[in-house]
Amino acid sequence: MKPETDRLLEFYRKMVLIREFEERVKLLFLEGIMPGTIHQYQGQEACAVGVCSALKEGDVITSTHRPHGHCIAMGMDIRKMMAELFGKSTGCCKGKGGSMHMGDIEKGVVPAIAIVGGGIPIATGLGLAFKMKKQDFVAVCFMGDGATNEGTFHESLNMASIWNLPVVYVVENNLYGASTHISLVMKVERISERACAYKIPGITADGNDVLEVYQKAQEAVERARTGNGPTLLELLTYRITGHSRRDPALYQPGEEKKKALENEPIKRFSNYLTSLGISTETLEDIRNRVKKEIEDAVKFAMESPNPQPEDTLDDLFV
């Protein structure tokens, strides 16, 4: 198989891995087996996979309260992720983080920041460190549309602009901040318009088209890596699940939801791949392998030990 095809199939595999992971987690959660709360990523897979595929080793991302997709796209071990969701000692944060704080710095993922807008200055600081240490790494800051109304968005993009930092601010615009539609909370038609306040490039891309996301992310990452400063990259997408827990998302109109399901990224990419002559069996085979991998992760997580109660007291100070 040609290297280009391999790359496309890897995009596909990662998107399906995210989708199947999230569907399995949803089930475990609804069955009452999994503790805590969850914010899921179904429908936005092309954003994480397209952007993270444009990064190299040493680059780093910050994530949000909806981090599972970003973690998988950065290549984190899904067994450790699943164990973290169960609060087990084998989890990526030893059970101290949970769904909203998962991360693995060795894979370039800062523990996810679950305060909306909280990660934007931190990603900016990572960019400052790369610049001061004269390293050609890039920091990517994932955020939702809602975060662009936070003060930290303004403070951070302004600083990244004046200091010309290697940061890519990725806004996954899924139209809703929790249950509130974007039209109720901002007047601009495109969030990327806000970039003009900082005199940095503001770009909007189809966040459900993994190849377009990849291409725009590559350009932004390249700008950052070559010392040409930050970019605000808005990705238009849709969350085809509730905001959290058992949210039935009744605020999403039926017609809008129906359209979104037709436009969802994995279906679109599958159609594209088959139009290139890749067989549906090949794609099914990938999905089946992914499902096995997930079952293995669930088994690992469920069989892993709980942390000891007194482990609570560890890890506060070095």
Partner 1 sequence: MARLTLAEALRQAIREEMQRDENVYCIGEDIGIPGGWGGAFTVTLGLEKEFPDRIINTPISEAGFFGVALGSSLKGLRPIVDVQYGDFLFCAMDQIANQIAKLRYMSGGKLKTPVVMRAPVGFTGRGAQHSQMLEPFFQCLPGIKILVPATAYDAKGLLKSAVRDDNPVLIFEHKLLYGAKGARTEPGSVDASSEIPDEEYTIPIGKGIVRRQGTDVTIIATLLMMHRACEAAEMLEKENIKAEIIDPRCLVPFDWEIVKESISKTGRIVIVEESPRNGGVGAEIAAKVAEEMLDYLIAPVKRVAAPDTPAPFSPALEKFYVSDAEKIVKAVKEIINISS
Q: How far apart are the first and last CA of the chain?
A: 49
Q: How far is the CB of 230 from partner 1 (least distance, A)?
A: 13
Distance CA 264, CA 12 (A): 13
Distance CA 86, CA 28 (A): 10
Q: How far is the CB of 107 from partner 1 (least distance, A)?
A: 11
Which stretch of DSSP H or E encloses residue 234?
Answer: strand 231-236
Q: Should residue 129 be labelled a site residue for partner 1 when binding is judged by CB under 8 A?
A: yes
Identify the three-state secondary structure at position 205. Answer: strand
Q: How far is the CB of 150 from partner 1 (least distance, A)?
A: 9
Kindly state the number of chain residues that form the binding site for partner 1, as judged by CB under 8 A: 44
Q: Which of 215, 284, 237 has the alpha carbon at shortest distance from 43?
A: 237
Q: What is the largest CA-CA distance in the chain?
A: 57
Q: What residue type is 169 in one-letter code?
A: Y
Among 113, 266, 273, 298, binds partner 1 (CB under 8 A): 113
Binding mask 18-57 vs partner 1 (x if CB under 8 A, - otherwise)?
----------------------------------------
Identify the three-state secondary structure at position 64. Answer: coil
Among 9, 122, 211, 278, binds partner 1 (CB under 8 A): 122
Among 50, 69, 87, 111, binds partner 1 (CB under 8 A): 111
Among 42, 53, 148, 152, binds partner 1 (CB under 8 A): 152
Q: What residue type is 163 in one-letter code?
A: W
Binding positions for partner 1, rule: CB under 8 A: 60, 62, 91-97, 101, 103-105, 110-111, 113, 115, 118, 120-130, 132-133, 139, 151-152, 155-156, 158-159, 162, 314-318
